[in-house]
Structure 1
Amino acid sequence: MTADRLTRVLRKVFFTAVALVSLLLGGVVCLMCQVLAGRDAPTYRVEGHVVSHARGELPVGGNEDAVSHTIAVDAGDRHYRVTAVDPGLDLPSGQPVTLDVSTADGSIAYLRAGGGVVDLRSGVVRPVLLISTALLALGAVYFGAVRLNVYPPVATWLALALGALLAPVVVFVRV
């Protein structure tokens, strides 16, 4: 095997590896953008009342004394079950509640009861950190590919910029 042939084989293997890693990292970016879009999706209101309430111990973040509350809400034609570590969910049976249900995935965003509001949405720190890390890793992969002359530099950076701009836009337009 000549050095020229070995170089071509290595470039094909490296090209495939770069493409697969890029696909994986782009998927992480799209998924996390979708999580953020679902978190802030429009909601609709559903009124109901608490039919059952249960307490349980749920170790959260090293806190062994954390108490989780699970309530079941009867909203006429649908029944909802909510579990969270929040004292705002310590509601008696029969308590009227209003649920703000996400139009994106049907999850409960807010629970309103007796003048209090409980935010049940997931946080934004983890998705934003994953998006930032994936984009930095994607940039590093493409920078390495350009340094090894696998891709033409201009085409690589244009593809990276176009992918980074279009992936979140496509996800947000879908919702």
Structure 2
Amino acid sequence: MTVSRFTRVLRKVFFTAVALVSLFLGGIVCLMCQVLAGRDAPTYRVEGHIVSHEQGALPVGGDEDAVSHTIAVDAGNRLYRVTAVGPDLDLPAGQPVALDVSTADGSIAYLRAGGGVIDLRPGVVRPVLLICAALLALGAVYFGAVRLNVYPPVATWLALALGALLAPVVVFVRV
């Protein structure tokens, strides 16, 4: 095998590796954008009452004393189950409640009971950090590919910019 043929084979292998890593990192960005879009999707209100309440120990983050509360809400045509860690869902059976259900994925965003509102949506810190880390890693992979002259530099940076702009847009438009 000559040096030029070895270089071509090495570039093909490296091109495939860059493409696979790029797809993986782009998938992380899309998934986290979808999580954020589902978090802030429109909701519809369902009213019902609590039919059961269960309490159990659920060690979270090394805290052995954390207590989870699970309630079942009868909304007429459907039974919803809600679980949360902490005292927020410590509600008696029979209490009337209103649920704000997400139109994106059917998860419960808010629970309204007795004049109070309990936010049950997932946080935003972890998805935003994963999006930033994936985009930085994607930029580093493409920068390494450009430095090794695998891709033409203009095409690489256009693909990176286009992917970074279109992935979140596509997810938000879908919802």
Please state which band the TM-score falls in when normalised by the shorter chain: over 0.9
Shift of 1:151: 0.3
Percent sequence identity over matched residues? 89
| Whole-Å separation in 2 of the counterparts to 1:105 and 1:36 | 12
Partner of 2:46: 46
Residues 66 and 86, structure 2, Cα contact 8 Å, conserved in 1: no
**Shift of the alpha carbon at 1:134?**
0.3
SS for the counterpart of 2:72 is: strand
Q: Distance in 1 between matches of 2:136 and 2:35?
A: 19
1:113 aligned onto 2:113: yes
* Secondary structure of the corresponding residue to residue 136 of structure 1: helix
Q: Secondary structure at the match of 1:61?
A: coil
Which SS does the other structure have where 1:158 is aligned? helix
Please tell me whether residue 76 in structure 1 is matched to residue 79 in structure 2: no
- TM-score normalised to structure 1 length: 0.99
- Equivalent pair of 1:50/1:72 in contact (CA under 8 Å): yes
Show the 5 A alignment for 1:119-158. 119-158=119-158
Consecutive unaligned residues of structure 2, counting only runs of 5 or more, are none
**What is the match of residue 13 of structure 2?**
13
Which portions of structure 1, spanning 4 or more consecutive aligned residues, are displaced by more than 4 angstroms? none
Give the structure 2 partner of residue 92 of structure 1: 92
The structural deviation recorded for 1:44 is 0.3
Equivalenced residues, count: 175
Structure 1 portions without partners, runs of 5+: none
Q: Is the 8 A contact 1:88 1:117 kept in 2?
A: no
- Aligned equivalents of 1:68 and 1:100: distance in 2? 21
Q: CA deviation at 1:62?
A: 1.5
Q: Report if aligned partners of 1:18, 1:145 keep a CA contact under 8 Å in 2.
A: yes
Partner Cα distance (2:37, 2:127) in 1:
11
Asked if the contact 1:45–1:101 (Cα under 8 Å) also holds between the matched residues in 2, the reply is yes
